[in-house]
Chain A
Amino acid sequence: MKSLTLLLLLVFSLSIPNSLSFQSDELLIEDEEFVKSPDLSRPSISPLTRKTVSDSGSDSKVQFVLEHAFGDSEFTPAGTFSARLKTWSHGGQTLTKLRFSRKDLSREDKESFKTLLEGDDFYRIRVPSNVISPPGRDYIISSVKARCLPQTGLDEHFVIHMDGVNILGVNYGSLAVCQYPRQYKLPSKWAFTSHTVLKSTEQAPRTPAFSEDIGSTEIGGEDEGVKPLERSFWAKYWMYLIPLGLIVMNAVTQAMNMPEEQAGGQPASQPQQVNGPLPRGPGSRR
C-alpha cells in the first residue's frame, strides 16, 4: 500500500512539470519544491474528489467554477477548477497546479447537447475573470461548435491565460480538426475528457545592444555610393552595349574571313567602339 502511494506520488511529481511546461523556468523550479511536500499532491490524484487543504505558509487553495450553456440557454455550473495560489514575497500572486473536475452530464444536459449537435450550434463555457473574487469584472466566455467536441468521448482542452490571479482568456476546444461543414456525430461515451493548461505571459527578447558594430555599419553605409553607379551603368545601357558587342563581333569575324591585306571594311566599326563609353552617365556625374 505504501509503495503504491509512493508510486503515485512519483507519477504525479513527474506529470506536474509536464502540464506546466508552458510556464517560465522560474516558476517550474518553485513548483517542484511543492511537489516534494507529500500531503499536497495526494488528494488531487483522483480528479473527482475535491478537498480543501489547509493553508500552508504563503499559499492557499482556490476554487472557481466553470459554467456552461447550450446554445443560448442560461449558464449552469459544469465543474470546478481548483488550484494552488502562491503568494510571492514581493506581493504578486500566481496560480499553480490547476486541476479540473467536471460534473457528470445530467439527462437534460445530454438532451440539450444532442440538440446542439443537430443544429450545429455553440457550446459555451464561462469562468470568472478573477479567481479570488469571482466573477471579477466580467466573465470570460469561450465557445465552440458542439460538433467539434465528440471524438470517442467528449474531448475538451482548456488553455487558460493568466496574469496573477486574473484570467484573461480561455482557449477552449478539442484537438481534432473541425472544419465547415461539420459532421453530425454522437459521442459513444457521454463523459468529458478534460485537459487543462495554464499559460502566463512570455518575456520579449531583449533588443540586441552592441556598440562596436554600429561603427562598422556606418562605414558600410558610407562606401555604398560607388557600387550602384557601376551597376546602374550596365543596367541602363545593356541594350546599347549588346548590339555594339554584336557589331564588334560581326566585324571581327569579317576580319578573320578577310585576308590581311584587305581591311577596307573595318574602319567603319572602329569609331563606334571609341564612342561606346560616352553616353550620358548617371545624374550625379554631371
Chain B
Amino acid sequence: MDFQVVILAGGFSSNLVPLVSKEVPKALLPVANRPVLSYVLDLLESNNLKDLIVVVEGEDAALKVGGWISSACVDRLHVEVAAVAENIGTAGALRAIAHHLTAKDILIVSGDIVSDIPPGAVAATHRRHDAVVTVMLCAQPVSGPSESGGSSGKDKTKKPACEDIVGLDSWKQFLLYIAKGTEIKKDTRVNKSILCAAGKMELRSDLMDSHIYAFKRSVLQEVLDQKPAFRSLKQDVLPYLVRTQLRSDVSSDQNNVEENGNGKDNMQNNEVVLSQILSNASLPSFHQVYESGLDSRKTHKCCVYIADESKIFVRLNSIQAFMDVNRDVIGDANHLSGYSFSAHHNIVHPSAELGSKTTVGPHCMLGEGSQVGDKCSVKRSVIGRHCRIGSNVKIVNSVVMDHATIGDGCSIQGSVICSNAQLQERATLRDCQVEAGYIVCAGGEHKGETFARR
C-alpha cells in the first residue's frame, strides 16, 4: 500500500522514572508480563504491516529493544531498529532517519500504546482525502482505577483534565485547530482565515491525540528540513501544518509536478480539462472552495480519523497510565493480552506454585515459575515471572515485575514493584513505586513514596 511504518519507541522516559531503568527502557516495560512494544507490534502485524522501523532513543536502549525484538519477532516481522541521540524529540528522531523513508506515506505510531484501533483506518482516511497529515483522535481515557477510589489521588492531580483541544470542521473530517490542553492558559488564537473558510469549527476537549499519524512523506521531510527548530511532532510539526493549511508552502500538490511532464500543448490542455472534470465532480472540501475563491492559493489538508469509542486506546506515558494499562489488559480489554483466561478470569501459569489457603482473584495474572506462600490474597494484580512471595501477603491493584521477592506479611496496594526488588517482612506499601533491585526494609509503612537509589 506504499506505506512505511515508523514506531517511535522512545528511550528512558523521565515520566516513568522509577519504573524504567538502564535495563528496562520504556518500550520494554512489561504490561501483563509482555513488553508494551509487543502490543504495538501485534497490532501492526494483525494489520498485515510487517515492515517496520523502530526508532529508539539512545544506543543502549536500542540494543536492548533490538535484542528483544529479534528474539520475539524473528520470522514474523521485518523490523529495523534505528538508534538516535537522546532528547532530540520525535521530530528530531524522524529527521535522523529521514533518509530511510522512501514510501509515499509514512505511518508514525508511538511505541507505547496499547490499543485495538486498526491503523489501517488512519491510512485509508489519509489516502482518501489525499491529505498531508492525518491524525487519529480517540476518546479521552478514564484515568485512575475507579474501584479503588482515592488511591490514585496523587497522580490524578498531576494529570490535566483535558489533554488536547482539537477543532474540527462540521463533517468531522478535517483538523482545524490543535493545542495541548495544558498550554492553554486563558485565551488562545484561532486562525481566522481557516475559520472563515470552514464556516464552522467544533472545539472539543473530549478527544485526545493518539500519537498515530499518517504523514505524506515529501511534506514531512520538507517541513523537517525547513524548520530545524522543530523538536516534537505533536507540538511543533502538527500545529504548524494545521496552521498553514490554507497558505501552504509545502509542495503537497503533485499535480504541479506532473504537469511539467507533457510537452505537448494539446496534452496539457487535456490534462487541465481532466483535472477540472475530476475536481468539479468531487465534493469540494472547504480547502478547494477557498482555493478557488482566491487566486491560486495553495492549500493542504489535515485530516482526522476519530476512533470508535468502543475501541480501546491507552498510552503508557505516566505511572498512573502504567497501572491503568496493566489493569485493563487483564481486565476489561483482555482480548489484547493474547492470553487465554481461566474460568476465574485470571491467568495462573501452570508452573506457578500457590500455597494453601491462597486466593488469586479475578483479573489477576501470575507469571511462570512464581511462588506464592500460604494464606495470601492477590486481587487485580499482575505478578511477573519467578517472583517469590511469602505467606500472609496481600497484593491489591499492583504490579509486581519479574524476580521480585516479597517477604512474609507484606501488604501492597496500588504499587509497582520492579524486577529484582526485594520487600522484607511486614512492609506495607500503598501507592508506591519500588525501583528495580531496591530493597525495602522490614516493617516499614509507606504511602505514596518512590523508592529509588540516588
Real complex partners, A and B?
no
Residues of A within 8 A of B (CB): none
